[in-house]
Amino acid sequence: MSGFPKLVPAFTTHIVLDAPIAVGSVSKGAPLTIAPFASPSPNSYLRSEANYPIKVDAVFAHGSDFIRQDPSGKHLRLDVNSILKDESGAVISYKYSGIITVTPAIGAVLGGAADAKSTDFGNVGDSAFSARAWMHVPERVDGVEQGFGLIVHVVTHVLFETGSDELRALEQKIYVASGRFVVEAGQPTVVEYKISEVTA
């Protein structure tokens, strides 16, 4: 259909997460949990897709995801601030905001449940773990059990900033991403994002 924007594959990120830290219910009213990046780690990186003209091969030097839960318990709001160091020596500020549609499967991943499994981009199966337990929120609100559906969507808006002349074009683009969780036995949880440039 004409007039709609197009997506150009740009980058893939892998972010290795440390154990989440529960802050609890804050003055804004929502439970806050912080998921720090396990950095520096060679397995936490951002790399350009082969055909994308802006070339980046960078590792995360620092970062955290500030996660707030909606009152309904059905969505998590993501607010990430982090720093990348490119192989060229350039430093890149990498930020994103996004929404996770919560399911028991996502709760299993975030809670480190033994039966947690990797999720696909945009569609996952079921699990018995409640995301409310991970967020340290009671299972019942006003006496009503809080349930979740079977689909999860992890969608974000990505913002880059850098002082590098060679990578300055990152600041003139609009990027969006779709994410998933990668779970492997004996390994920390990884968040993988496929980032695309939005074009007219």
User: What is the span of the domain harbouring residue 194?
Assistant: 6-199
Asked if residue 121 belongs to a domain, the reply is yes
pTM for the model stands at 0.78
Residues 6+ positions from 101 with CB-CB distance below 8 Å:
74, 75, 149, 151, 152, 153, 154
d(CA 22, CA 26) in angstroms, rounded, equals: 11
Asked if residue 70 belongs to a domain, the reply is yes
Q: Which residue has the tokens 């839960």?
A: 69
Asked if residue 1 belongs to a domain, the reply is no
Asked if residue 17 belongs to a domain, the reply is yes
Query: What's the confidence (pLDDT) of residue 184?
Result: 83
Asked if residue 192 belongs to a domain, the reply is yes
Residues with pLDDT less than 50, the chain: 123-152
Query: What's the confidence (pLDDT) of residue 10?
Result: 98
Query: What's the confidence (pLDDT) of residue 28?
Result: 76
- Cβ-contact 63, 80 below 8 angstroms: yes
Task: Residue 183: count other Cβ atoms within 10 Å of its Cβ.
Answer: 18
Q: Which residues of 149-182 are buried (b: 16+ CB within 10 A; e: fewer)?
A: eeebbbbbebbbebebeebeebeeeebbbbbbbb
Our count of domains for the chain comes to 1
Asked if residue 118 belongs to a domain, the reply is yes
For the domain that residue 154 is a member of, what is the CATH number? 2.40.160.20
pLDDT digits (tens, 9 = 90+) for 100-142: 877 777 667 666 677 777 767 653 323 223 344 344 443 434 4
Half-sphere CA count of 62, side-chain side, radius 13 A: 5
Asked if residue 146 belongs to a domain, the reply is yes
Q: Please, what's the largest Cα pairwise distance for the chain?
A: 57
Cis peptide before 188 (omega within 30 of 0): no
